[in-house]
Structure 1
Amino acid sequence: MKIAHISDSHLGYAQYNLIERKADFFKAFEQAIDRIIESNVDLVIHTGDLFESPQPDMTSLSKAIKQFKKLKEKRIPVVAITGNHDRTLRKGKIPPQKILEDLGLLQLISPYGEKVFGDLYIAGIQFMPGSHLKELSKKIFPEFSENAVKHRFSIFMFHQGIDTYLPYEGAAEMSMSDLPEGFTYYAGGHIHNFIHETKSYFFSYAGVTEFRTVKEAESTSRGFNIIDLEKKSLERIKLENLRDFLSFTIEEGKDENVKLEEITEKASECPIPPIVVIKYLYTEKPFSETTAIKRLKEKALIVRVLQKNISEKETEKLKKTTSIEEIVRNYFKDQRKFVQDLSVELATSSTEHTAEILLKFLEEKTGLKITF
């Protein structure tokens, strides 16, 4: 049985407020769907963040419908979960994937649940912060594992970051040991890098269909995964002919204009005007507009200059900087401990977790179940 695992498409994202970038995300997703159909898969799973927002604009929704109709015409079923971008927090609101489900274009697992396709059992859970997932998993994961081993093949879908693959402490929603046992394949979303693991589990993150950051462009590939459940093998399908991300480093006083001319030449060679990111390192004078940079801008879709002061004085200042937790606790040193704890959690978590953290705090303090 062959499965296409796709994730983090972020349809509707107009990066840098550019309509061209919004079109790039659509183009990448359309190419992915066409390549999936060419691969003759039995089923498609999408592990979250199909859309950039839980309330996508009509163009984004219409384009998504068009692509999923192509899969339906080929009788390829789709199972999806929501990610942190396209899930809904407000009571009574539905995620955009529910509209696609109502149109018969996919089957949605939200907030958690299971689907069965003959010999294939699929369990899934939408994005939720680690504090919520920890308690919920104790209740539902044992049942998922029991059902998984009753079927010839099984897939666990999730949209959470696993600590092993994140570079900084406190960012993960779960660890590898938190995954329910007994599944043939573990399908992850949320982390944008393509990651393939076979040591303890047959597992992967499908990565992105289009880059959101230059860091992603430097470290991973745009694409999706084809999974053979019987052979427990994975084939990475890379998307091609998409807009290039070009990244360069320039140091102050080291032939800056010459380097800019070289970058301009490389940008000119790209079939589509690229995104150019320049890391400018300086000790005295920050980067300023020059004729050379103006010529580069004519060849690129956008040029972003990220500046960093690397002087000894600035370096010493950074060395003396304490951690975020220390700064927050010192600032709230005259407050009660629960105020400090709440402030630290908010300061060290992604903004997308803010609502859940505050709701959990209020529920613990009031004893009431709060919805909004």
Structure 2
Amino acid sequence: MRIIHFADLHLGVETYGRPDAATGLDTRLLDFLIAFDKLVDYAIAEKVDLVLFCGDAFKSRDPSQTQQREFARRIRKLADAGIPVFLLTGNHDLPATSGRATSTEIYDTLRIPKVTVASQAKVHTIETASGLLQVAALPWPRKSTLEGKAQGEGQNLSSEELKAKVEAAMSARIRQMADSLDPMLPSILAAHIWVDGAATASERKFILGSEPTVMLSNIALPAFDYVALGHLHKRQELTQNPPVIYSGSLERLDFGEERDDKGFYVIEFTKDGGRKHTDYHFHKLDGRRFLTLEKTLYEGELDPTLSVLKMLTNRSDDIAGAVVQLKLKMPEPVAPLLREAEIKNALKDAYYFGIAREVERQARNRLGAEHDESLTPLQALDKYLAMKGVSEARKKELMSKAAELMAEVES
């Protein structure tokens, strides 16, 4: 039995994109769809038994009709090929208010053949071409549900108390699902969660304080043959027995993922004399590349622009087709010497580029070499009047008035 595990598609990310003349779609949306197409084509060519998606189909909780159409086309293509699809609900799939549908709920409502939508924590038994498969689903937790229940019981929980309650409920539910599994059948835990200690990519670490997390020991249970995770965009294998794996996002979202490989996992379950074995490997996709170039320029360079152009020429193959950010650091006198038009022309083969200048401003000390802050106000005035060539008589008069003012202020 072979299964594809992927997550965090995030259709709708359009940063660094532009309208495509042929389709009218944003070119970054096309990047994500191309990656999805490669996965779909692989699944059909290799006749996999299940495509398991671990949440966050779209960037927005309210995706556009175009984004929903493009996602549906690929889900339908898999289903028409006889490949079951399992769609787990992620945090980006949940509506902003209770009572509204999730972004993938329509597939469940229409009872699309071969498509299972998991928006609640429960065990699903999926019929595949190679036999039955158990998938214990743990979608993104709805804190509002537990909060409403607590309020109904007369409890007003703080944010930390609510977070702790959600974490305890998730861990308990994982254990309950694990205990209910048939040990003779292959089983997967599919979860859209943050595992404590897992590394991040483009996600912002500051949100961790408000997000519920689970301990690795609470999900790496022997009842599961494989733990498929979504939510964090950085691909990582947390344990091997059982395999606990974040597949990462299918395509790079921003420069936080510049050095991350993107793709999906292929899992294979086999039996040997009644004993189950799990093998897996990562299938890398060639997505949109992100490239950061940095150059420090120094005062005294005869032609700082030429120095930048030489670096760009040496990296021309890397620049072509990539999203590029060029960071230039320089002292203030160098800044006006840069010929930006020539630099932009050297970056013309990039998919997208941005140029950031970090100019080191030179401190100006109008009173000379002695540090201003080491002088008292009267000393500073005396030094200033001397620099301006004020006569001794006039200087004496001004210094006297200044001393009177200082005394008045101090009193």
TM-score normalised by L of structure 1: 0.74
Question: Is residue 190 of structure 2 the alignment partner of residue 157 of structure 1?
Answer: yes
Q: Which residue of 1 aligns with 2:123?
A: 114
Tell me, what secondary structure is at the counterpart of 1:229? strand
Question: Is residue 224 of structure 2 the alignment partner of residue 183 of structure 1?
Answer: yes
Q: Which residue of 2 aligns with 1:208?
A: 249
CA distance change for structure 1 residues 200 and 297 in 2, over 3 Å: closer, same or farther?
same
Question: Is residue 137 of structure 2 the alignment partner of residue 92 of structure 1?
Answer: no
Q: Which residue of 2 aligns with 1:221?
A: 261
* Deviations 1:186-238 (CA, angstroms, capped at 9, x unpaired): 001111122124444312111121100123121x2121000012331112111
The 2-side partners of 1:308 and 1:131 are apart by 44
The 2-side partners of 1:61 and 1:160 are apart by 24
Which aligned pairs between 1:293-304 and structure 2 lie closer than 5 A?
Answer: 293-304=343-354
Tell me, what secondary structure is at the counterpart of 1:44? strand
Contact 1:8 1:207 in 2 (8 A): yes
Contact 1:264 1:299 in 2 (8 A): no
Find 2:322's aligned residue among 274, 277, 294: 274
Deviation (angstroms), 1:243: 3.0
Contact 2:8 2:57 in 1 (8 A): yes
Q: After alignment, is 264-273 or 40-49 more displaced? A: 264-273
Deviation (angstroms), 1:132: 5.4
* Deviations 1:20-75 (CA, angstroms, capped at 9, x unpaired): 11221111111221122222211111011111112211111111111111111111
Contact 2:319 2:349 in 1 (8 A): no
Deviation (angstroms), 1:82: 1.9
From the CA coordinates, give the structure whose radius of gyration is larger.
Answer: 2
Amino acid at match of 1:196: E
Deviation (angstroms), 1:5: 0.2
CA distance change for structure 1 residues 184 and 312 in 2, over 3 Å: closer, same or farther?
farther
CA distance change for structure 1 residues 143 and 36 in 2, over 3 Å: closer, same or farther?
same
Q: Which residue of 1 aligns with 2:139?
A: 126
The 2-side partners of 1:274 and 1:98 are apart by 36
Question: Is residue 68 of structure 2 the alignment partner of residue 77 of structure 1?
Answer: no
The 2-side partners of 1:256 and 1:3 are apart by 54
Question: Is residue 295 of structure 2 the alignment partner of residue 247 of structure 1?
Answer: no
The runs of 5 or more residues in structure 2 that have no matched partner are: 19-25, 144-162, 271-276, 364-411
The 2-side partners of 1:186 and 1:164 are apart by 16
CA distance change for structure 1 residues 151 and 279 in 2, over 3 Å: closer, same or farther?
farther
Contact 2:121 2:139 in 1 (8 A): yes
The 1-side partners of 2:206 and 2:29 are apart by 32
Deviation (angstroms), 1:86: 2.0
Tell me, what secondary structure is at the counterpart of 1:92? coil
The 2-side partners of 1:115 and 1:131 are apart by 27
Q: Which residue of 2 aligns with 1:328?
A: none
Q: Which residue of 2 aligns with 1:5?
A: 5
Which aligned pairs between 1:1-372 and structure 2 lie closer than 5 A?
Answer: 1-16=1-16, 18=18, 19-103=26-110, 104=112, 106-117=115-126, 119-128=132-141, 131=164, 133-166=166-199, 171=208, 173-179=213-219, 181=221, 182-218=223-259, 220-230=260-270, 231-240=277-286, 242-253=287-298, 257-258=305-306, 260-262=308-310, 264-265=312-313, 269=317, 273-282=321-330, 290-306=340-356
CA distance change for structure 1 residues 201 and 290 in 2, over 3 Å: closer, same or farther?
same
TM-score normalised by L of structure 2: 0.67
Contact 2:56 2:93 in 1 (8 A): yes
Contact 2:123 2:134 in 1 (8 A): yes
Number of residue equivalences: 311
Q: After alignment, is 143-152 or 268-277 more displaced? A: 268-277
Contact 1:282 1:311 in 2 (8 A): no
Contact 1:86 1:95 in 2 (8 A): yes
Amino acid at match of 2:257: E
CA distance change for structure 1 residues 259 and 174 in 2, over 3 Å: closer, same or farther?
farther
Amino acid at match of 1:16: Y
Deviation (angstroms), 1:263: 5.6
The 2-side partners of 1:191 and 1:100 are apart by 25
The 2-side partners of 1:132 and 1:31 are apart by 40
Deviation (angstroms), 1:305: 3.6
Deviation (angstroms), 1:282: 4.8
The 2-side partners of 1:80 and 1:90 are apart by 21
Amino acid at match of 2:4: A
The 2-side partners of 1:199 and 1:260 are apart by 46
Q: Which residue of 1 aligns with 2:366?
A: none
- Identity of counterpart residues, as a percentage? 24
Deviation (angstroms), 1:87: 1.8
Tell me, what secondary structure is at the counterpart of 1:88? coil
Two-structure CA RMSD over aligned residues (Å): 3.1
